[in-house]
Structure 1
Amino acid sequence: MRAIYLVLTFCLLQGVEGYSLDQETQLHANLTTKYERKIRPFKNQTEPIQISMDFYMEKLKEFSEKENKISVVGSLSIEWKDFRLTWDPTDYDGDLNQTSLFVSDIWAPNLFLLNPYEKQTPILSDGTACTIQANGYVTCLLADNFETTCSADISNYPFDTQICTLKFYVQGSFASNTLLQNASSTIRLDLYEIHGLWYLTGTRNYVQMYRIRGMSCEVLQLELKMKRRNSYCVYNILLPIFFLNLIQLFVFFLPLESGERVGFSMTVLLSVVVFFTIIQSKLPEFSKPSLSPLTFKLLVDFLTSIFIVLFVVVITFIYHKKNHERIPRFMREYIEKTKEKNGNEKEHLNITWKDVAKLLNRWVSRLIFVCLYFNFSFYMIFNQVTSVNEVEISK
């Protein structure tokens, strides 16, 4: 029985034949002989050639708001048909259905990035290998790090959303002889690695027509829509600012006769200055299209801290004024009405500068609380209104 299996296996192996090195060498010679790589692969040169493109994104390497640059690592798939690169597989033992040729041996679209961060270089170099099918379809898959310009909009920082576009075009070609097609309506994310600072909320592939000196030119645009992961900014910037604001209010709860009020307010002011200096390097340095609301909020918080120190100094000065100095009439009347409401008889009232200081301390504490409350509330409401609640897309 074992001998029968060995005989059958030997017969099957003898029946399996594949194309040889000589056959593929002969195929390459047949395809490239008298092949003119400078001529578009179309019998009727008045008809446009169709180029299908697709993009497989692997990761977002970098997005720099300061430099207006985005770096995307991915693979660009380019496909077209060349009728001169066809053959009959039966002439090569029937299983030579595809082969590989370098761009230097065949016609290839002169593809460029329209918005590169640095100088323009051809996407397909002469050393790029492309797969050739027996029916003439040519497919080139280029893996690279694509760096393009992308203008940052930090109006809603750190709740901002950025939209960046990679633009590809065929240099020296127009819509009359070259048509670009997007193989899919979105960027492929099968190999995508999640980024720590940004997450994708949407992608789009589309062809845009441009008019250049009366001639139409097609541009394939790969659009990325990204939203910032703002947990770091919330826990390391917004929450500390919120607690610093609360600490500043405690100065008004200290006794007026205490000599630590001015020292406490100055200490908090210095803490605010040091903290703002630390986070200054983390804020984007842009004035267009508009400053981030966080910048205005920090400015208001800083000015509020200064006013708190000034008010504390003034109130302390008033508290220690001599009683023989005249008290303004409107303050005296207001304090008298307040004490009468508390059950004190008017003829027994003795209004002093200490009462005025206590009144100002109460007014100023409420005013500062209202300012801080509305400053923080307006900032959060503005970001909730202007930012869109978007969900991270999955593979």
Structure 2
Amino acid sequence: MLYPKKYKTNMANGLSLVVFALTGVLLLIASGHAQYSPELEAALLEELYDSNYSTSVRPTSTVLVKTSFVLYTINDLSIVDQTLSVSGLLSMKWMDKRLSWNTDSDYSDVLFLFTTEEDTWTPAVYVENSVEDLSVLNDEYMPLRIQPNGEVLLVTSGVFKVSCECDVTYYPMDRQICYIKITTGGYSQGEINLRFDTEPFDLSEYLKNGEWEILSASGSSSDGLIRSRGGIDYSRLKFKLQLKRRHLFHIINTIFPVFLLGILVPFVFQLDENGDRTGYSLTVLLSFAVYLTLIAENIPSTSVSVCYLSVYLATILTLSTLSILIVIWLAKMASSEEEMSSCSRSLALCFAKISCCNRPSCCCRKSNAATKARKGEVYENGAGFYFYKYDRRPHNENVPEYDNDDAITWQDFASHLDHCFFVIFFFVIILASLVLFIIWGIEYEKFSS
């Protein structure tokens, strides 16, 4: 296709203009970046850190230090040692106008400076409730970041292991509140004032812990807490972590087996052989002793708070011990051939009436039925049950009674006591279990809503 000569000339001029504009923009961009160089930054550092700058002199009379904590993970919360171990970053920011260059146009292209703690004044801060190291927080390998307006950022990374007073009352449905306390060393409240940053805790990088769940992470209710030492007030901050134990593991491996073992205790009174009874009771008793030992290893040796689970286990352990003593006593009673005294007979009759309630085949009713069988009113089948003579309905006396003084024996008395003790032990264990579960349920719902 042919174009007029004039049109070709205009196209060439327009293309040249575009190329010239692009070249100018690229040169401007290149010239802007070309102004920064290591030599320029070194010159700025030399100018800022001149002979008038001293690391022993504070930037102002009262330095406001803004602090925050970046939490990476909860390593461990040991309620036995009462310690909390976390990994994270502790950052501190303050203004040092001696290190600002935003008003100097010669260094306007230097956006940040990096230096070390050796050359720059830094606040002396340490973790007050640390259980391993009480030295001042610093990291010689972590550079300080300085902005043009003179704001200095110091970041200290590490594993912080602090003391944490644990409450084991509701273990394993417990929650714990732990603090990371930082304070100044050497500088008083009027010289360094610690304050929380906009967000005291940063959980954006947090990795979940398998045992503990974070309910809240915040600064203490009071921003600046004062700690007095030797008559001098020092600034202090408290980072607060509220944790709740993940209880599924403990329900499956502790609570459920303990409850089942508790249910087994009263069934010793349903066995017939005395040897089986004693062996059964000792087995249950030893099982509870093992669980009590395991739980005692996981809770601190303190009397400040008492673990409800330990009280429950101690109660079941006591009942299991009593069951052994009662079984031995009942075995001795059943083997006795002595004649019952009037007092023992009265007591036996009382327990017989309680034990035979709604039970058609107990010894007292059999005695009464045997009397009627001798009179021809009822008869006894081969299985030992009594029936009316004409309609074959099972004989059931509403009020148990013995037809003579020899109708009840020590064996009968022991049998009635077996039934009574079974009901009593079963009721006490179920009641104790319900009380424990209700207490745990109230505590769980309180902090789940």
Flag whether TM exceeds 0.5 (same fold).
yes
What is the Cα deviation at residue 383 of structure 1? 3.5
Match of 1:306 among 315, 318, 321: 321
Distance 1:216 1:343 in 2: 83
**Residue 184 of structure 1, CA deviation:** 3.0
Distance 1:125 1:265 in 2: 62
Q: Tell whether the 8 Å contact from 1:53 to 1:182 is kept in structure 2 after alignment.
A: yes
Aligned partner of 2:156 among 132, 142, 146: 142
CA distance in 2, matches of 1:344, 1:58: 74
**Cα distance change on mapping 1:173 and 1:345 into 2, 3 Å:** closer
1:199 to 213, 224, 228: 213
Is 1:37 matched with 2:94? no
**Cα distance change on mapping 1:258 and 1:293 into 2, 3 Å:** closer
Computing the radius of gyration from Cα coordinates, the structure with the larger value is: 2
1:187 to 193, 196, 201: 201
* Counterpart position of 1:361: 418
Aligned partner of residue 90 in structure 2, secondary structure: strand
Residue identity in the other structure for 1:114: E
Shift of 1:318: 2.4
8 Å contact kept, 2:81–2:300: no
Query: TM-score normalised to the size of structure 2?
Result: 0.77
> After the TM superposition, which residues 1-395 of structure 1 pair with which residues of structure 2 at under 5 Å, given as runs?
11-16=24-29, 17-18=32-33, 19-34=36-51, 35-42=53-60, 45=61, 48-87=62-101, 88=103, 90-92=105-107, 94-184=108-198, 186-205=200-219, 206-254=223-271, 256=272, 260-277=276-293, 279-280=294-295, 282-322=297-337, 324-326=339-341, 328-334=344-350, 339=364, 342=398, 346-347=402-403, 350-385=407-442, 389-391=446-448
d(CA) in 2 for partners of 1:344 and 1:33? Answer: 109
Unaligned runs of 5+ in 1: none
- Which AA in structure 2 matches 1:272? F
Answer yes or no: is the 8 Å Cα contact 2:267–2:422 preserved in 1.
no
More off after superposition, 49-58 vs 329-338: 329-338
Q: Find the aligned partners of 2:336 and 2:169 in 1 and give their Cα distance.
A: 49
Secondary structure, aligned partner of 2:55 = coil
Is residue 336–residue 351 contact of structure 1 (8 Å, CA) maintained in 2?
A: no
**CA deviations over 1:55-95 (Å, ceiling 9, x no partner):** 11111112222323221111112111111111146313x42
* Consecutive unaligned residues in structure 2, runs of 5 or more: 1-10, 357-363, 366-396
With over 3 angstroms needed to count, the CA separation of the structure-2 counterparts of 1:259 and 1:164, relative to structure 1, is closer
- The count of residues paired between Structure 1 and Structure 2 equals 384
Which whole-Å CA distance do the structure 1 matches of 2:129 and 2:318 have between them?
43
Map Cα deviations across residues 220-275 of structure 1 (whole Å, 9 max, x no partner): 11111112222222211111011112222222233x36763333333333433344
The aligned amino acid for 2:431 is: F
When the two chains are superposed, the root-mean-square deviation of aligned CA atoms in Å is 2.8
The answer to whether the Cα contact below 8 Å between 1:65 and 1:152 also exists between their aligned partners in 2 is yes
1:7 and 1:82 mapped to 2: Cα distance? 46
Offset at residue 335 of structure 1 (A) = 5.8
Higher relative contact order (CA 8 A, sep 6+): 1
SS at match of 2:84: strand
Q: Are the counterparts in 2 of residues 57 and 188 from structure 1 also a CA contact under 8 Å?
A: yes
